[in-house]
Structure 1
Amino acid sequence: MSRPDPDRTDRRSFLQAGAIASAAALSTSAAGANPPAQDPPAAAPGATIPKRALGKAGVEVTMLDQGAIRGPSYDRILRYAFASGIRMFDTAKVYGTEPNLRRWFEQDPEVRKEIFLITKDMPKAPSQLLSMLDERLEALGTDYIDLFFIHGLGDDHSLDDAVNMVVSDEFKQTAEAIRKSGKARFVGFSSHHKDRATIIQKAAEAGYVDAIMLQYRPWLPADSALNRALDTCWEKGIGLISMKQIAGQFFGDKPEGNILDDVSRRVPTLKERNLSPFQGLLHAIWSDERITSVCCSMRNTEQIRENVDAARRFEPLEAADLGLLRDATLAHGPTLCANCDGRCSDAGGTRADLGTLTRYLTYYRHLGDRSEARRQYALLPPEARDWSGADLDSARAACPERLDFARLLPGVDRDLG
Structure 2
Amino acid sequence: MSQIPHLTLNNGVSIPQLGFGVFQVPPEETQRIVEDALEAGYRHIDTAAAYRNEAGVGAAIAASGIPREELFVTTKLRNGEQGSAHEAFQNSLKALGLDYVDLYLIHWPVPAQGLYTEAWQVLEKIYGNKEARAIGVSNFLEGHLDSVLAAGDVVPAVNQIEVHPTFQQTALAEKSRSLGIAVEAYSPLGQGADLQASTVTALAEERNATPAQIILAWHLATGTIAIPKSSTPERMQENLAAASITLDEAAVASINALEDGSRVGGDPATAAHSQL
TM exceeds 0.5? yes
Q: Does 1:130 align with 2:56?
A: no
Partner of 1:322: 255
Deviations 1:101-144 (A, max 9, x none): 22234334544231111111225575521111111111111111
Selected match of 2:161 from 194, 214, 223: 214
Mapped partners of 1:141, 1:209: distance in 2:
25
Question: 2:166·2:190 contact (CA, 8 Å) conserved in 1?
Answer: no
Residues 234 and 204 of structure 1, relative CA distance in 2, 3 Å threshold: farther
Deviations 1:162-203 (A, max 9, x none): xx623xxx4554233111212112222222xxx834324544
Question: 1:66·1:88 contact (CA, 8 Å) conserved in 2?
Answer: yes
Selected match of 1:139 from 82, 95, 101: 95
- SS of the aligned residue for 1:314 comes to coil
Mapped partners of 2:249, 2:130: distance in 1:
39
Q: How does 1:243-392 map to 2 (within 5 A)?
A: 243-247=186-190, 250-251=193-194, 259=196, 263=198, 268-289=202-223, 291=224, 293-318=225-250, 319-322=252-255, 326=258, 337-338=263-264
Mapped partners of 1:93, 1:172: distance in 2:
17
Q: Does 1:175 align with 2:118?
A: no
Partner of 1:234: 177
Deviations 1:79-107 (A, max 9, x none): 23223332110111221211112223433
Residues 64 and 93 of structure 1, relative CA distance in 2, 3 Å threshold: same
- SS of the aligned residue for 2:135 comes to strand
Mapped partners of 2:27, 2:81: distance in 1:
32
Residues 250 and 105 of structure 1, relative CA distance in 2, 3 Å threshold: closer
Mapped partners of 1:83, 1:202: distance in 2:
41
Question: 1:117·1:147 contact (CA, 8 Å) conserved in 2?
Answer: yes
- SS of the aligned residue for 1:149 comes to strand
Code of the residue aligned with 2:207 in structure 1: it is: R
Structure 2: tracts of 5 or more residues without a match: none
Residues 128 and 211 of structure 1, relative CA distance in 2, 3 Å threshold: same
Mapped partners of 2:267, 2:83: distance in 1:
29
C-alpha deviation, 1:308, in angstroms: 0.8
Residues 313 and 204 of structure 1, relative CA distance in 2, 3 Å threshold: farther
Residues 205 and 180 of structure 1, relative CA distance in 2, 3 Å threshold: closer
Partner of 1:49: 4
Code of the residue aligned with 1:184 in structure 2: it is: A
Residues 175 and 316 of structure 1, relative CA distance in 2, 3 Å threshold: farther
Question: 1:105·1:141 contact (CA, 8 Å) conserved in 2?
Answer: no
Deviations 1:237-294 (A, max 9, x none): 1122110245466358xxxxxx5xx736x754332222222222212222323x2x10
Residues 128 and 248 of structure 1, relative CA distance in 2, 3 Å threshold: closer
Same amino acid, percent of matched pairs? 21
Code of the residue aligned with 1:139 in structure 2: it is: A
Mapped partners of 1:287, 1:188: distance in 2:
22
Q: TM-score, normalised by structure 1?
A: 0.55
Code of the residue aligned with 2:161 in structure 1: it is: L
Code of the residue aligned with 1:212 in structure 2: it is: N
- SS of the aligned residue for 2:15 comes to strand
Q: TM-score, normalised by structure 2?
A: 0.80
Mapped partners of 1:48, 1:210: distance in 2:
23
Q: Which has the larger radius of gyration?
A: 1
Mapped partners of 2:95, 2:267: distance in 1:
35
Mapped partners of 1:340, 1:97: distance in 2:
21
> What is the root-mean-square deviation of aligned Cα atoms in Å?
3.5
Partner of 2:15: 61
Mapped partners of 2:178, 2:191: distance in 1:
33
Structure 1: tracts of 5 or more residues without a match: 1-43, 253-258, 344-352, 357-375, 381-417
Question: 1:65·1:296 contact (CA, 8 Å) conserved in 2?
Answer: yes
Question: 1:50·1:311 contact (CA, 8 Å) conserved in 2?
Answer: yes
Deviations 1:213-255 (A, max 9, x none): 111234557xxxx533322321221122110245466358xxx
Code of the residue aligned with 1:52 in structure 2: it is: L
